[in-house]
Homo-oligomer: A and B are copies of this chain.
């Protein structure tokens, strides 16, 4: 199944819907059941020494699954995060972008589940891993 929205359409939609996207977050690409998003340092999100706070990594993962889901279901759908689990494994490399690879594992009528692996750009080791569930509210 191909995405219903292009990266450009998603970017326009996010400017209204997901204001965090301005603060160094951006969308690289979307594909069938997947997306890649990134966070650039130097935007107040990275702590001294290159450390990224837990909530910032959470925001990146949340944005990533939202973007991957949006691409597949189109801009009209309202979705809310109902569950997230995240493992923080190591510090990111200082000065590099943080890149999140997102795979949608389920795109159901009611629940969407995505898997996220975050790495410093070009590095093999995973900085943090997250799984998020979005719920699609029932239509009235």
Contact = CB atoms under 8 A, between A and B. Distances in A.
User: Chain A interface residue count: which class?
Assistant: 20 to 34
A73 interface: no
A135 interface: yes
A62 B138 CA distance: 26
Interface stretch (A1-9, A34-42, A126-134): A126-134
DSSP majority for the A interface?
strand
B83 A133 contact: yes
Given A87-B113, A113-B87, A135-B111, A81 B106 contact: no
A26 to B, nearest CB: 17
A32 to B, nearest CB: 12
Interface in A58-109: 58-59, 62, 80-90, 105-106, 109
Contact of A88 (B55, B81, B110, B129): B81
Given A80-B88, A105-B126, 20 more contacts: A54-B58, A54-B62, A54-B84, A55-B62, A82-B111, A83-B83, A83-B85, A83-B86, A83-B88, A84-B84, A85-B131, A87-B106, A87-B131, A89-B105, A89-B113, A105-B117, A110-B110, A110-B135, A111-B135, A131-B131
Interface of A: 20, 53-56, 58-59, 62, 80-90, 105-106, 109-111, 113, 115, 117, 126, 129, 131, 133, 135, 138
